[in-house]
Amino acid sequence: LLRLHKAAVGLKGGGVGLYRSSNFIHVDTGRVRYW
Domain definitions of the chain by residue range = 2-34
Each residue's pLDDT tens digit, 1-35: 999 999 999 988 888 999 999 999 999 988 888 77
d(CA 10, CA 22): 22
Task: Give the predicted TM-score (pTM) of the model.
Answer: 0.73
| pLDDT for res 24 | 96
| pLDDT for res 16 | 93
| Phi and psi based region of residue 20 (left: phi greater than 0; alpha: psi -120 to 50; beta: remaining) | alpha
| pLDDT for res 3 | 96
